[in-house]
Every structure is written in structure tokens, then in C-alpha cells.
A and B are shown apart, each in its own frame.
Chain A
Amino acid sequence: MKNILAKHGLMAGIVLLFALVFVFGGVYSRYMTAQIEARANDGANAEWLVMFDGATRVEEFNIADIALKSYPLADGRGDFTPSVIAAYKLYAGDVNTAVGVIYVVASYGKFAGVQVAFAFDLATDTVVAVKVIAQSETPSYYGTLGTAFFAQFENKALDDIALTVDAVAGATYSSKSFEIALLFAREQYAADFGFEIPTIVMTLNSVAYNLDPATFVAMPFIADVTYGEDDTNVVVYLDSTFTYAGLVSGVEPAADVKSAIQAYASNAGTVSANVSFVEYDADSRELVMRSRGYSFDAITVTFVINATLDGIVSYEVDSDESYHEDYNELYNHALGEAPYVENHMIDQYLADEVTIDGIAGATVTSAAMQKLIALLDLFLIEIGGGD
């Protein structure tokens, strides 16, 4: 034994010491990791607690399974299926009955995903707070969504059929993403807590642009709907947020019907709030139109219509589009700066091209101009029978 110790004692001692440090350090480090995780959880919980006045405790819970549901994105850019990423019940004091609930929903904005949390009051079925958890939108657009926009969600009753909010000019896609998120959060809320989502029997027969120069600025859309058990038909004007703005024919509907019309029309996807008429002067036959492309300021085009009201004499584009900027490597810079794309597309229309082609690297601008030209064409047909 003595010999073995003399021969191998030193190595055994070093190995033993090594093992001791390893075990002690490992335990200490695991303990510290557990502590920092707990601390991070505390921080995350604090983030939820501030969304609900009086809540003192937060607990994640498993949501009920509900069917996937798709919602149309703003401007007919297809559908998006949101999802609930996480859900938390909020408690006040030691009472074990939840007073509120938070749903974190993944939605989609202009170019990227948005994660937003809604806090609902279980007693009043209202939205009490909204918080953006993550977003990758272009800062210049997203920045326009100020506190006034988010304030619209607060105290919003979940039994409002449409659950719409006024979109912010320049951030309509982002605005729509929050509406989609809230609509889906309500679906989940209904499944989890037995809330009954109000419905109304309604058929949207059509929603179209208002082409009457006398009213098209204030009321850019006209919707034709049939609702109720006795199939009441009504044709109404809608403003740029699809809110009821006046009656074309029929009897003025009740508030819940107006709200339903707004929901149906805004989700129809057949018209766009991003393209509109600005003014029309019948004497000079000058028509000013606007379409929102990539830049914060919309593209404005002034057309001079010919005497027979079926064609264009001249036009002028005012655009701040930025597709020609150096960082946009997809655009062929040899084509020139803005408004090259805008002019090019109008010229195609004036040359009676059947299809108005967009330009690679300026797809958002191209889409905006296609919408503008389509609306111009409708207008010319309406006033003069142009083709």
C-alpha cells in the first residue's frame, strides 16, 4: 500500500483534486444557471404583469385546440394564418381564479412577422392592454404607429363584430397585422373561456370603388350587402377605413350591422385603401390620384383627360419612391431613378398594352402603379366610356 501510494499518490492526488474542483464547480455553475433562469423568468413575468392593473401573479397555460383560420392581409396580398405563441393567466393576490389573460399572437405586417400580446379582462371581455413583443418591420413604417394607434385597442369590447381600428397612414399593412392578431386572439379566447363571438347573417354582394367625383374623396368605397333573416338589402358608402359613411340605397342599418359591413368589406380584398382619388376638376379635366408604394409619401399622379373623356392627354408623377437607391441590388440601375417605373407603367397603359408589366427590383412600386392604373381605367369607363 505504501509503495503504491509512493508511486501513484501524486497522480491520484491531482486526479482527486481535479475531480473535486470539477464537481464543486459544476454544482456551483448549475446552481448559478438555475438562478439566472429564474431571474430571467421573473423579468419576463414582470413584463406580463404590467399589462394588467392589479395582477400579482402570472402563469403560463395550455390553450385549447382551435381550427386554423386565415385572414386576408391588407391590400389583397393573400391570406395569413396567425397563431398563438404563448398564453398566460393573470391572478390578483392569493385568489386562484384568473382575472385576466394574455395571448401572444404571431401575425404578419408589411414585409415581416409581428408578435403582439393582448391582455383581456375576463370580467368585462375587453382588451385592456396591447404590447408589441417583436417585430422586424422597416423602422420608418413601424415608427409611424404611435401611442394613439395602440390606444385604440384599449377597452375595446370583444363583442364588437369587426374589431377594427383606424389604420395609420403610411403603415396600413402593419396596422392590419394587429387587427388580424386581435381577431385570432378573440377566437382563442372564445375557445378557452367560453366567450361567444357575436355573429350576424350577412352576404357581401360587392364592394367597389366609388367613381363619383362628387363623393369619391370622402367615401371612396361602395358596398352592397344583404343581411338578416329577411334578406334586407342595403348599398352603403364606406370611408377609407371601411367604416359606414352614408347610405346609397335601402334603410340605414343598425350599429352592429355597420360594424359587420366594415369587417366584411375590409377583409374582402377586392378594393385597396392604398389607392384613391384626390380630386377631379371637371373644367380642366384634371384628375389627381394617389397610390401608396414603398415610400412613406404616396405616389401622386395628375392626369389631364381628353375632351371626349376617354383618354389621357398628359400626366405628371410626383414620387418619392426609392427603388433606385444604391442598396437595392435587384433593380437595374441603368433604367434610371424614380419616377422611371411610374412613367414606364403609365406609358404602357397609354400605349394600350393589355397587361401592364412591373419592373424587377421595384415590385412594391409596380404593384402600387398597377392598382392606380386599374382605378384610372375604371374612372375613364365611368365618365366617358374609355377602354
Chain B
Amino acid sequence: MARFANAKAPYLRMTDNPSFGTGAIQRDFLIALLPVILFAFYKNGLQVYLDGNISFLEMFYPLVFILIGGLMSTLLEALFFVITDKSVRTMKTLGKKLSVSYAAIPGLLLAMILPLYTPVWVLIFGCIAATLVAKMLFGGFGYNIFNPALIGYVAVAFTLYGVIQNAGGALNASEVLADAVGGATPLGALIEGEGLSYNALVAPYGTLLDFFVGTIPGALAETSALAILISYVWLVARKVIKWFVPVIFVGTVFVLSWFIGMIAGAEGVWFPLYSILSGGLIFGAVFMATEPVTTPRNPLGKVVFALFLGVFTVLFRFVGDFAEGVATAIVFMNIFTMPIDNWTAIIRSELGGKEIFVKGAPKVKKPISKATIKGIILVALILLIALYGVLKAGGMFTASGWILPTVGRLF
């Protein structure tokens, strides 16, 4: 993340400047969360209150839930510091330590991607997994290899999903009364085998505009593409994230879903749009896939990383048994952050440099470089996984066509 001033020596590292350091990045990141949090409050609190389905005090629950997530993460981190670090046993030192550790963020993000009616003890369990296991045991802020919030999410989703469903799940008090919704989120409807038709997957929730605005059932704060888009613009403008990472991630899912839709006979672009606007894809693309610590640093690495995220999301979503595939894809790809960074750095340095020709020197036939081989391997891997995902998923949803489903069966 180090950025340098474009001037003569002596150089001042920009991260030393209070306006550009990690502190500024985290501040900008927290500001970016505001539109999403406010929309979550509007959709799950204010609007439900205005519908007459909850009381005034119940209206604030979405905000309280998110705050509890942030607070619990902070307290857990504080406890960890006090127990493990003798130098951090006063309020002053602890406060200083916490202020540079951004302790609240994993819990905040975790609460935002969980269903509204997740019991608080489950949220706390997730915070423990996120803060203590995924962050502090790896050395704290800057040293973690997995996205802490997503480790918390995966821990909760894989072990306590039934508990969350029994406690009320994702539908708010207005959505639970809607007959058409049938108790399922849009992605849930897909995994429940509703078939690949607009009437089964989109119509019960309104139109694709509702999907874009975010007035559809889903996790607490990840339904509104509109709110996340505002956050995206802010983060890009503040140079906190690279603009192309979410675009490539979402774009890959869009294109592959389009292919799946075409194979399955879903005409038009409604299916790829449904695919990117439902679940936590856009939230994950903007807030998780761009996380600076656990994702590649060089631009080519980010591109490769985002492409892999796209293909794995499609694979996990449409071929696996779980409705959502974004969190699993990001956590899975976190493992490969360092190799991708190394490989793409080599590719960039070898293929990106200018060749210097010496006049009169004999032309030497160059062997295929390691960088080329590595590049070919990466591209082939992405294409193979994408092809497998498309054919397998397309075959699952279709009874029409014969070439692609037949090839799909080979896998």
C-alpha cells in the first residue's frame, strides 16, 4: 500500500501522512459502509415499522445488531491484547493499540452479512472465529491471511445455519407475511430447485429493479446493489480500492451466468442480472475482494484473483449444495494470494519490460520463459474451472439443448 510522493529526494512516504495512511483507509472504509448500513436500517427497520409490522423500538434492531457485532469484535480483541501483551494493560495503551488495529471492522462486516434474525450468541461465535482465530492468532492486523469477517461467516454458516433459520432467518417481519416469497431468499429459491425461470426466481420478489435497489429478502446489509454502488464510487474516488477488482469479479459471474442461462434456455439477460444482484456477490466484490491485507498487491495479481473469484463463485453457487458461493470463494482464494502475487509479479516483470536491441547483434531465438508458462497455466486454470462450472451448472438446470449438456456429463 506504500505510495510515494512524486518529488525530489528526500522522499516522504505517503502512508506516514495522516491523510493517506492505513488510518485514513480504514476511516474511508467505515464511511463507505454507511450507505449500506443505512439502507439495511431502512429496509429491515424503518420500512417494516412504516408497514405496521414492528414497533418503534424493534425498528432499531438492525442497527443494534450491527453495533453488537462491532462492539464484540473490539472487546474480544481488547481481551486478547490484555491477556497476551503485558505492555497493554492500561486504558491508554489499550486504546492506542485498538485504534491502529481497527478491531471493530470484522464484527461489523460479519453482522452485515448475516441474516437479521441471527441469535446474538451465534453472532458472538462468529466474532470469536473472525477476530480471535482469523485475525489475532495470525498476528493481528496486517498479518492475517484470511478475511476475518468471512472466516466468521463461514464458521457460522457451516455449523449453525439451522439455528439461524429456526430463529427467524433472513426475512423481516414484512417479508415473512408475503405469500409469494414462500419463506426463501432469491438464491434460496434457486437452490430449492425452483427451476430456472423468471417467474420462479425473480417475479416472487418483484422486478430486477427491486433486486438492484435491494428491497428483496437477503442477509442484513448485502441486498442493495444501489447502496453498495455508492460505497464503491466513494472507495474508488478515495483510492482505497482498485476499481477493476469488483468489476472483473462481478463481470465474470455475469458472463458465466449468462452462459449457464443460455444453456438452460433462460432467454435474455434476466438470469445473469438475477445472478449478480442476488446474494452477497456485489457486497463481497466491493468490501471483501478488495481487502488489502488478504488479496494480491500487484495489479495483475488483483485481476487474476478477481477472475478466479468469479469462476469459483459460479462453481460453488450453481454446482455445490450451498446457496451462496461468494464467501467460500473469497476464503478459498485467500489461500492463493501469495502464490498469485509472486507469479503475477514474475509475469509482469518478465513480460512487461522493454526488450533492448543492440544494432548488428545476432538474433537469438528465445526459449519460452517461465513467466509465459506461468501465465498460460493461470489462464488455462481459469478457463477450465469456468468451463466446468458452466457446463455442470447448465446441465443441472436444463432439459433442452444437447451438445453442451452432453459434454457437461463428461465431467
Residues in A lying within 8 Å of B, measured CB to CB: 10-11, 14-15, 17-18, 21-22, 25-26, 28-30, 32-33, 35-37, 39-40, 42-43, 46-47, 139, 325-327
Q: Please determine whether A43 and B79 come into contact, CB atoms closer than 8 angstroms.
A: no
- Interfacial chain A residues near B405, Cβ < 8 Å: 326-327
Given contacts A10-B89, A36-B173, A326-B399, contact A25 B120 (CB under 8 A): yes
Starting from the known contacts A25-B68, A47-B179, A326-B406, 15 additional A-B residue pairs (CB-CB under 8 Å) come to: A10-B82, A11-B83, A22-B124, A28-B64, A29-B65, A29-B119, A36-B173, A36-B176, A37-B168, A39-B176, A39-B177, A42-B177, A43-B177, A43-B179, A327-B398
Asked if B237 is at the interface (CB within 8 A of a chain A CB), the reply is: no
State A114–B95 Cα separation when bound (angstroms): 61
Are A21's CB and B90's CB within 8 A?
A: no
Are A11 and B64 closer than 8 Å at their CB atoms?
A: no
Nearest neighbor of A326 in chain B, beta-carbon distance: B402
* Alpha-carbon distance A32/B176, docked complex (angstroms): 13
Residues of A within 8 A of B68 (CB): 21, 25
Cβ of B37 under 8 Å from chain A: no
Q: Complex: how many Å from CA A336 to CA B90?
A: 82
Tell me, in angstroms, the Cα distance from A11 to B84 when the chains sit together: 12
Which residue of the partner chain B has the closest CB to A22?
B124
Query: In the complex, how many angstroms separate the beta carbon of A362 from the nearest chain B beta carbon?
Result: 16
A326 nearest CB across to chain B (Å):
5
B345 within 8 A of A: no
18 interchain pairs (CB within 8 A)? Answer: A11-B79, A18-B72, A25-B68, A25-B120, A25-B124, A29-B167, A32-B61, A32-B117, A33-B167, A33-B168, A36-B168, A39-B173, A47-B179, A325-B399, A326-B399, A326-B401, A327-B398, A327-B399
Residue of A nearest to B116 (CB): A32
With an 8 A cutoff between CB atoms, is B53 at the interface? yes
B329 at interface, CB cutoff 8 A: no
Interface positions, chain B 139-167, Cβ under 8 Å from A, are: 167
Given that A29-B119, A29-B120, A35-B54 are known contacts, is A14 also in contact with B82, CB under 8 Å in the complex?
yes
The answer to the question of B293 belonging to the interface, with a C-beta cut-off of 8 Å to chain A, is no
Q: Cα distance A37–B399 when bound, in Å?
A: 39
What residues on B are CB-neighbors of A326 within 8 Å? 399, 401-402, 405-406
Task: Assess A36 versus B75: contact at CB under 8 Å? Given A10-B89, A21-B68.
Answer: no
Q: Is B282 an interface residue (CB 8 A)?
A: no
Complex Cα distance, B200 from A139, in Å, reads 12
A-B interface, 4 closest residue pairs, ranked by CB to CB distance from nearest: A25-B120, A36-B168, A29-B120, A43-B177
Question: Using Cβ atoms and an 8 Å threshold, which residues of chain A touch B76?
Answer: 18
Given A29-B120, A33-B167, the answer on whether A10 and B94 have CB atoms closer than 8 Å is: yes
Distance A25 CA – B398 CA, assembled complex (angstroms): 46
Q: Is the CB of A10 within 8 A of B72?
A: no
Smallest CB–CB gap between A332 and chain B, Å?
15
B172 — which chain A residues lie within 8 A by C-beta?
36
Asked whether any CB of chain A lies closer than 8 Å to the CB of B288, the reply is no
B: contact size bracket: 35 or more
CA distance A22 to B119 in the complex (A): 11
Residue B5, interface by CB 8 Å: no
B83, B168, B399 interface centre (most CB from chain A within 10 Å): B168
Contact across chains for B79 and A18 when beta carbons are under 8 A apart: yes
Chain A residues near B179 (CB, 8 Å)? 43, 47
Tell me, in angstroms, the Cα distance from A316 to B402 when the chains sit together: 28
B91: chain A residues at CB < 8 Å are: 10
Residues from chain A with a CB closer than 8 A to the CB of B213 are none
B333: Cβ under 8 A from any A Cβ: no
Query: Which residues of B have CB within 8 Å of A327?
Result: 398-399, 405
Interface flag for B16 (CB, 8 Å): no
| Residue in chain A with minimal CB distance to B118 | A29
Q: How far is the CA of A351 from the CA of B52 in the complex (A)?
A: 74
Please tell me if the beta carbons of A21 and B176 are within 8 angstroms of each other in the complex: no
Q: Is A40 a contact partner of B176 (Cβ separation < 8 A)? A: yes
CA–CA, A17 and B398, complex, Å: 54
Instruction: Point out the residues of chain B lying under 8 angstroms from A14, CB to CB.
Output: 75, 78-79, 82
Chain B: minimal CB distance from A184 (Å): 26
- A contact residues around B119 at 8 Å (CB): 26, 29-30, 33
Residue of B with least CB distance to A39: B173
**What residues of B have a CB within 8 angstroms of the CB of A139 in the complex?**
195
State how many angstroms separate the Cβ of A183 from the closest Cβ of chain B.
28
Compute how far the CA of A40 lies from the CA of B53 in the bound complex, rounded to whole angstroms. Answer: 11
Best-buried of A25, A33, A35 by chain B (most CB within 10 Å): A25
- Per-position binary interface string of chain B over residues 65-94, scored 1 when its CB falls under 8 Å from any chain A CB and 0 otherwise: 100100110011011001100000111001
Are A26 and B120 neighbours in the complex by a CB distance under 8 Å? yes
- Note all chain A residues with C-beta closer than 8 A to B65: 25, 29
Looking at the assembled complex, report how far the CB atom of A364 sits from the nearest CB atom of chain B, in whole angstroms: 16
- Chain B proximity of A12: nearest CB distance (Å): 10
List A contacts of B94 (CB < 8 A): 10
Residues of A within 8 A of B79 (CB): 11, 14-15, 18
Interface status of B11 (Cβ within 8 A of chain A): no
B404 to chain A, nearest CB (A): 10
CB neighbours (8 Å) of A26 from chain B are 119-121
Residues of B within 8 A of A33 (CB): 117, 119, 167-168
Chain B residues with Cβ below 8 Å from A32 are: 58, 61, 117, 168
Contact yes or no, A43 B167, CB < 8 A = no
B window 88-108: CB within 8 A of A: 89-91, 94
Cα of A268 to Cα of B129 in the assembled complex, Å: 63
When C-beta atoms are compared, the residue in chain A nearest to B401 turns out to be: A326
